[in-house]
A and B are shown apart, each in its own frame.
Chain A
Amino acid sequence: MTFKTALAGATLLATLSLASTSAFALTVGFSQIGSESGWRAAETTLTKQQAEQRGVDLKFADAQQKQENQIKALRSFIAQGVDAILIAPVVATGWDAVLKEAKEAEIPVVLLDRMVDSDKDLYLTAVGSDLVHEGKVAGDWLVAEVKDKSCNVVELQGTTGSSPAIDRKNGFEQALAGHDNLKIIRSQTGDFTRTKGKEVMESFLKAEDGGKNICALYAHNDDMAVGAIQAIKEAGLQPGKDILVVSIDAVPDIFLALAAGEANATVELTPNMAGPAFDALDAFFKDGTQPAKFIQTESKLYTQADDPKKIYEEKKGLGY
């Protein structure tokens, strides 16, 4: 009985959703990792929005962080005969067999945000951001901002050994190379978290004469920057003026800090990976255009001049 009721409810929902889409639209399956972070939730929301705007019938499958669920979802998409598949793979390994099946069924697969270690022939393209480039955009901003003044920079790194931490550090250092007036005097991990960011910033401030020696802070993500801003305020300094703050990700909270003048710049890791993916698919279906194997998303820089209040309002509804 219970089972029947549940299925009947499910049936009703399914009928409603089927009725709302047109018969000629593309059907695209999207296998998402899960909703482990605010950014990923925003990616899901934006993918659904993009699909709706373009009249794409999106089949969404949440893998709950499990690769086996993603493989299952892909196989079911293939069995269902969708026109294309989007996937944000939870791990890089182990996709060969199912990607081969998709290729054989002539269903193009687009990777979102993460890569796989399979042969490049097995997917149409991958959409993602260049983490090194993000670090470089942040560094370039700082170089332009301080001009010829001498500037001591402290750095809050991401989780030790993680690829965003390594790449964002590299990119930032590339931007600073050749500008001897800028020096990274301290660099430590804040684990991408707000609390660790605050703690580590407190120790930086203590070690550097109450913060008087520090001219700028570079944080590998916004959360750590938000924590550090708190620490700077508690030390009696003005974040954004006494110590410049630049970070990466562009989550809603950093726009509040930008609006309050407490942060100076953030580089966006856009959650809109689906937009470029749908563009590539549209072109591919229209006249068979083969997209490049890697489509790099824009790493946009936001400063206090970009109406941070308005962007905060736009971003807060995305599920971050």
Chain B
Amino acid sequence: MKTRHLPFAATLVIFILAYGLCYTQFPAMLSTRVIGNLLTDNAFLGIAAVGMTFVIISGGIDLSIGSVIAFTGVFIAVMLKTTGLHPLTVFALVLAVTCLFGAAMGAVIHFLEMPPFIVTLAGMFLARGLAFVLSTDSVPISHEFYGTLQDIFWRMPGKGRLTLIGGIMLVTVGLGMLIAHRTRFGANVYALGGGQATARLMGVPIAATTVGIYALSGFLAGLSGIVFSLYTSAGYSLSAVGVELDAIAAVVIGGTLLTGGSGYIAGTLFGVFIMGLIQTYIIFDGSLSSWWTKIVIGLLLLLFILLQKGLTWASSRGFGPAHRTA
């Protein structure tokens, strides 16, 4: 096995082991209900994490997505309440807004040569502030189209539900994998993560790629916001606080290198599943403090960072192929 596959393999092994352990404790964990829940409950996180994976592979970071999700929800709720627009029109509108928002951040990062951390931190405050300006209260969404969308699900054998939003996440992950591994843009993202200088030598259009990455992340944060609003039937400016950090955690647990240049969208999906699994286990148990979720995720993150460090160390000593060949 190639060294760069190792983090992804570790993710898979941990997921399977953890699921097995949960199953021996609570046989009900293997029901399709739990699997449906994992997909539905983590749909918004999964979608946002796909965007985050691209950003991190390119060597950047996007701290704005939690706020963008909240903004999207409030924007949709307020638009549906105050105008007669159809939800689909509002969706298109808000996706355009968040996509542009991301693109603008990408442009600032590239052309002003600012660190992504600072620029997206500003974006985080900006989006959250805008959400509060629109409404400080939780705005319910009662459009009948929402009811229709929420009632779309495929009943799996065993009464589990594969809901629309769970499906949207799976499709997003699938498309994300295609973009990452089968397109010019995807190859450019990996190249950029390997180092700007090398990427430039390889003829990667740095400006277009950077703007594109953050636009994609903004777009997916918007989509995640739409899914979140479907999930809660409301827009609330205080919602989705810290989702960007959960997304980063999912990406790292999914085996993507924080230094950029290497990682898999599919790994991120399993990173999200592992986090969801821990939460499910704690609720099934019912006597553990829910803060254990954070502790276990913290330990997992540490484990993966150590693993990454170990791999970098091993490859610098010539134990494995460090450089990417894509």
Contact = CB atoms under 8 A, between A and B. Distances in A.
Interface of A: 1-4, 6-7, 10-11, 13-14, 17, 29, 57-64, 66-69, 71-73, 75-81, 91-97, 101, 105, 117
B316 interface: no
A17 B296 CA distance: 20
A71 B232 contact: yes
Interface string B232-272: 11101001110000000000000000000000000000000
Interface string B138-153: 1111000001001000
A67 B228 CA distance: 11
A4 B18 CA distance: 9
B284 to A, nearest CB: 5
B33 interface: yes
Interface stretch (B24-32, B89-97, B114-122, B189-197): B24-32
A29 B138 contact: no
B150 A97 contact: yes
Interface residues of B, number: 53
A80 B21 contact: no
Contact of A11 (B25, B159, B292): B25
B295 interface: yes
A13 B139 CA distance: 41
Nearest to B40: A75
A96 B160 CA distance: 18
Nearest to A67: B232
19 contacts: A3-B299, A3-B300, A6-B295, A7-B18, A10-B282, A10-B292, A13-B287, A66-B239, A67-B232, A68-B239, A72-B276, A75-B33, A75-B37, A79-B280, A80-B26, A81-B28, A94-B232, A96-B147, A105-B159
Contacts of A4: 17
A185 to B, nearest CB: 32
Nearest to A73: B283
A94 B234 contact: yes
A210 to B, nearest CB: 40
Identify the interface centre among B138, B150, B303: most chain A CB within 10 Å of its CB.
Answer: B138
Given A3-B303, A72-B37, A63 B290 contact: yes
B3 interface: no
A91 B236 contact: yes
Contact of A10 (B276, B281, B302): B281
| Closest 6 A/B residue pairs (Cβ) | A59-B286, A94-B232, A93-B234, A79-B33, A93-B140, A76-B283
Contacts of B25: 11, 14
B287 A60 contact: yes
B82 interface: no
Contacts, number: 133
B296 A6 contact: yes
Contact of B233 (A6, A17, A61, A97): A97
Identify the interface centre among B150, B240, B287: most chain A CB within 10 Å of its CB.
Answer: B287
B312 to A, nearest CB: 20
Nearest to B274: A3
A94 B231 CA distance: 8
A62 B150 contact: no
Contacts of B21: 7, 11
Contacts of A91: 138, 234, 236
Contacts of A105: 159
Contacts of A75: 33, 37, 40-41
Contacts of B37: 72, 75-76, 79
B279 interface: yes
A76 B34 contact: yes
Nearest to A117: B140
B150 A17 contact: no
B14 A3 contact: yes
A93 to B, nearest CB: 4
A270 B34 CA distance: 36
B288 interface: yes
Contacts of A95: 233
A66 B232 CA distance: 11
A69 B290 contact: yes
B28 A2 contact: no
Interface string B54-93: 0000000000000000000000000000000000000000
A80 B28 contact: yes
Identify the interface centre among B17, B161, B284, B296: most chain A CB within 10 Å of its CB.
Answer: B284
Contacts of B228: 68
Given A17-B285, A59-B283, A68 B14 contact: no
Contacts of B299: 2-3, 6
Contact of B283 (A3, A13, A61, A97): A61
A67 to B, nearest CB: 6
Nearest to A14: B285
B289 interface: yes
B279 A72 contact: yes
B290 A61 contact: yes
Given A6-B295, A6-B296, A72 B41 contact: yes
B291 interface: yes
Nearest to A34: B290
A68 B231 contact: yes
A92 B138 contact: yes
Contacts of B296: 3, 6-7
Contacts of B288: 10, 13-14
Identify the interface centre among A3, A91, A92, A105: most chain B CB within 10 Å of its CB.
Answer: A3
Given A2-B300, A93-B138, 17 more contacts: A3-B18, A11-B25, A59-B284, A61-B282, A62-B289, A64-B290, A72-B41, A72-B276, A72-B280, A79-B33, A80-B283, A81-B28, A96-B147, A96-B150, A96-B233, A97-B233, A105-B159
